[in-house]
Amino acid sequence: MGADQVSELYPLRAANVAARVFDGEVIVMNPADSSLFNLNETGTAIWQAADGTTSLREIVEREICGVSEIDSDTALADAEEFARALAGHGILLLRTEPA
């Protein structure tokens, strides 16, 4: 799973989940199974920027690389893994084209 593939992903928050930002972290509940997720600072930044029109690469460059010293390839790979994990739980949609 490389950075080229990551750059084509446009994450979008699932419409049917309930989420709140509390003290800088997002708490998400999926009504399908009442499962609960809490995202750390980086995850929260990705979640909040996941509007379906911004690519994951743009999100990573703006929200992660812009505020930390992590290299962009590593950050992108980590972000994709994170986004796919959320998508697997049905709380984030991953599109290959902008909405």
Partner 1 sequence: MIVTIGGLAVRIATDDPVFLGILRQQYAAFTGAETDGAPIVLEVELTPPLLQSPDEDLAVRFDGEAWEMRRGDFMARYDPKTRRGQVRQSANRHSIDSVIRIIHSLELARAGSGFLLHAASAVRNGKAFVFSGVSGAGKTTLSRLAPPDVCLLTDEVSYVRKGDGGPDCGRKSGYQAFGTPFAGELGKAGENIHAPLGALYFLEQASGNRIGQLGRAEALRMLLRNILFFAQDPKLVEQVFAIAEDFIETVPVCRLSFRPEALVWELIR
Binding site for partner 1 (CB under 8 A): 16-18, 20, 22-25, 27, 29-34, 36, 38
Residue 63 CB, shortest distance to partner 1, in Å, is 19
- Residue nearer to partner 1 on the CB measure, 34 or 96: 34
Phi, psi of 22 (to 5 degrees): -130, 120
Residues 6+ apart with CB under 8 A from 95: 9, 10, 11, 12, 52
Q: Rounded CA gap, 77 and 99, in Å?
A: 22
Residue 3 CB, shortest distance to partner 1, in Å, is 32
- Residue nearer to partner 1 on the CB measure, 48 or 55: 48
Residue 76 CB, shortest distance to partner 1, in Å, is 27
- Half-sphere exposure in the Cβ direction for 29 (13 Å, CA): 4
